[in-house]
Amino acid sequence: MRIEDIFGMEGPIAKQHATYEARRQQVSMANAVANALSLNRHLVVQAGTGLGKTFGYLVPAIIHARTTKRRILISTKTLNLQEQIFKKDIPFLQRALSRRLPFVAVLAKGRGNFICRRKMENIRAFDRGLLTQASHIQELQEMQRRLDDKAFTGDRECLPFYPAQDLWQHVCGEGENCLRRVCPFFGDCFYYIARRAQAQADIVVVNHALFFADLAVRKDAGFLHEQAVLEDYDAVVFDEAHNLEDVATDFFSRRVTPGDIRRTTAAVSANLRGILVSDNAESGRLVEALVQKLIYEADFFFLQFDKAFRLMPSDRYPHVLKPHLVELTKALAELTAGANEEQAALGAQLCQRLTRIDDNLEFILERRGGDEEHAYWVEAGEEGVALVSAPVSMEADLREHIFARIPAVILTSATLSSVLLRRVGLDKCDMMRLDSPFDYVKNALLYLPKDAKDPREEAFEDYVVSNIKEIVRATRGRALVLFTSFRSMQTTFARLEALDKEGFTVLMQGNASRSMLMQRFIASSQAVLLAVASFWEGIDVPGEALSCVILVRLPFGVPTEPITQARMEHMQRKGEDAFSAYSLPQAVLKLKQGFGRLIRTAEDRGVVAILDGRVQNKGYGRAFLKELPPARITYAVEDVKELLFGR
């Protein structure tokens, strides 16, 4: 089946979609993807907003999967896009192609999304004392009632309520505790039923995190197929590919927290009950004593790291937990050696978890001064401090485990650069750039205040508040204000509350869930939403509800963040200009993502305002402006009113 036949005005997509418009760029992309898949080549597509890139890769992927019987992964970063693809785009294409090209697609999820039957049985038999709240007991009873329902998939999303997190952790699947074929519930396991469904699929939709979780297993020599997170595949499409380096860094890092030790020792203690019999009660008491000793020593060990900072080569922190971890691992192995098959397998899993904690702590604490390939730091979090080590460069790992292993890899995003492709290890590939079909010259303005200030000036905060007020009054709200730090966002929010008296609804990230914030933002006639981080991308609000995006600062990475600092030092050692080769390209990509929140359909009109004076007054400001869509530049708020309201 030809690509042109599907996308043409007489094709199945047009017949299924009453307002469908054929797009030349979309067909060009689809043909390029089809060519890459058939020739086993890597392809990079920078696709502008509104091009329809999802169908641009889905249609050729479906054709190729069906004609060659090769499974293809579609991997995304954000939950929003993942749900759009699986719940909207794929069902649409299944209807449109049902007669000519029927296909099967599944959404892959990790173990943590499914109820574990073995853990449910253990709670029923041993662990009722873990649950003290009446609401938790009621939720558990409701889940237990559903276990016998043949239509129930075990997926948390299929429950009529969202289980409390401190209950869910006791009943959900865990890779580290999974007994696989040894488990007595393996045949009815919700997770493995979902895994087996992947084997019948042509298209499997995943997120980047799940892809790398699977990759982390596959890169180890001698891994077993059932240990993998995903079924085998022959090609992968990475949408939102600009996030690959960051996600990969997380999965190739080593991290140890007090919570890792608490959870592992709790699992050891909980499972002793199923192991202990009269002839090994003494060994069991020894293991429990060693558990308590490890918890006690770990509390003191982590107390010395009372703040976040980068670990330097001269720092020395003895691995004082090693003897306790080794002794507990040995005692547990001896205790479970004579147990039944299930308990022996569980004991082996717990020993592996203890050994992994030991190995990671040794790697981080006993690093050598000459190690320039990793960054080491202490990070503050909800579980106390975390000791972390991350690779400075992902280039070699990703080249070996993705681009050298997978026959065809497609990377697409509205924001990609040659610098990023080099950093993720992609040396040889086909490339194409397709501009947005939207008329930015007619429908969009880039507003740069005449009195723009540098963020390093004392008056910058007052200037920001004053300009936000002026802009949102001109646009009648309907504005998304993007910050690069929580502190700046919170300070500004406190000074904007007076806008409520003028009829504006001022919202801030963190005051409600993401979905609730977006619902309130869209429903309110004059809403202003202040946000950071993830709101720079993945927000899709077409129409008048979002008519203005205000970018407070240029989104440079924080130079004192350990991994950023280490990467810049690494580049400097190689004789490269770290600012030009790393900091600036990263910031440009993020600014383009922020700008991309504005125009989502051909009819949308709006303004992007950049308050950071450096985009006008610094030489590198041209690098930002050159990469933005071709909106008209204005320095007058009156032009904003004219665009939106005709006066």
For residues 177 and 175, give the distance between their C-alpha atoms in angstroms, rounded to a whole number.
6
Q: Are residues 497 and 568 in the same domain?
A: yes
Q: Are residues 356 and 267 in the same domain?
A: yes
What pLDDT does residue 181 have? 86
For residues 311 and 573, give the distance between their C-alpha atoms in angstroms, rounded to a whole number.
19
Q: And the tokens for 491?
A: 């300070």
Please give the span between the terminal C-alpha atoms of the chain, in angstroms, as a whole number: 51
DSSP 107: E
Q: And the tokens for 429?
A: 């590939």
Q: Are residues 237 and 358 in the same domain?
A: no
For residues 447 and 636, give the distance between their C-alpha atoms in angstroms, rounded to a whole number.
7
What pLDDT does residue 282 have? 79
Q: Are residues 163 and 241 in the same domain?
A: no
DSSP per-residue codes, 58-99: HHHHHHHHHHHT--EEEEESSHHHHHHIIIIIHHHHHHHTTT
For residues 171 and 116, give the distance between their C-alpha atoms in angstroms, rounded to a whole number.
6
- Residue that wins the pLDDT comparison between 409 and 310: 409
Residues whose CB is less than 8 angstroms from the CB of residue 228 and which lie 6 or more positions away in sequence, other chains included: 214, 217, 218
Q: Report pLDDT digits (tens) over 353-377.
A: 999 999 999 999 987 656 788 999 9
Q: Are residues 147 and 245 in the same domain?
A: no
What pLDDT does residue 37 have? 97
Strand partners, 385: 380
Q: Report pLDDT digits (tens) over 483-516.
A: 999 999 999 999 998 898 999 999 999 998 888 8
Strands 384-391, 254-256: pairing kind? antiparallel
Average pLDDT over residues 619-633: 93
Q: Are residues 351 and 401 in the same domain?
A: no
pLDDT at 278 over 60: no
- Its domain, for residue 8, covers 3-104+201-251+394-434
Q: Are residues 239 and 286 in the same domain?
A: no
Q: Are residues 96 and 119 in the same domain?
A: no
Q: Are residues 85 and 185 in the same domain?
A: no
Q: Are residues 619 and 529 in the same domain?
A: yes
For residues 167 and 139, give the distance between their C-alpha atoms in angstroms, rounded to a whole number.
8
Q: Report pLDDT digits (tens) over 257-269.
A: 999 999 899 888 8
pLDDT at 224 over 70: no
What pLDDT does residue 369 have? 59
For residues 323 and 334, give the distance between their C-alpha atoms in angstroms, rounded to a whole number.
17
The CATH number that applies at residue 84 is 3.40.50.300
570, 603 contact by CB (below 8 A) = no
- Residue that wins the pLDDT comparison between 234 and 18: 234
Q: Are residues 147 and 264 in the same domain?
A: no
What pLDDT does residue 275 have? 60
For residues 417 and 327, give the distance between their C-alpha atoms in angstroms, rounded to a whole number.
50
Average pLDDT over residues 416-422: 85
What pLDDT does residue 132 have? 67
Q: Report pLDDT digits (tens) over 338-351.
A: 777 888 888 888 99
What pLDDT does residue 22 have? 75
What pLDDT does residue 554 have? 96
State the average pLDDT for the chain.
Answer: 89
pLDDT over 90 for what percent of the chain?
59
pLDDT at 579 over 70: yes
pLDDT at 226 over 80: no
DSSP per-residue codes, 193-259: HHHHHHTT-SEEEEEHHHHHHHHHHHTSTT--GGG-SS---SEEEEESGGGHHHHHHHHT-EEE-HH
255, 364 contact by CB (below 8 A) = no
End residue of a domain, out of 359, 374, 391:
391
Average pLDDT over residues 594-622: 93
The helix (H) or strand (E) run that includes residue 626 is: helix 621-627
Q: Report pLDDT digits (tens) over 72-97.
A: 999 998 877 888 899 999 999 999 99
For residues 469 and 305, give the distance between their C-alpha atoms in angstroms, rounded to a whole number.
42
For residues 619 and 630, give the distance between their C-alpha atoms in angstroms, rounded to a whole number.
19
**Tokens 């029927």 label which residue?**
102
* Number of domains present in the structure of the chain: 4
DSSP 402: I
pLDDT at 128 over 60: no
Q: How far is CA 81 from the centre of its chain?
A: 11
Q: Are residues 225 and 153 in the same domain?
A: no
- Residue that wins the pLDDT comparison between 78 and 330: 330
What pLDDT does residue 647 have? 58
Q: How far is CA 647 from the centre of its chain?
A: 42
- Write a three-state SS string for 542-578: CCCCCCEEEECCCCCCCCCCHHHHHHHHHHHHCCCCH
- Residues in the chain, overall count: 647
pLDDT at 430 over 50: yes
- Residue that wins the pLDDT comparison between 527 and 226: 527
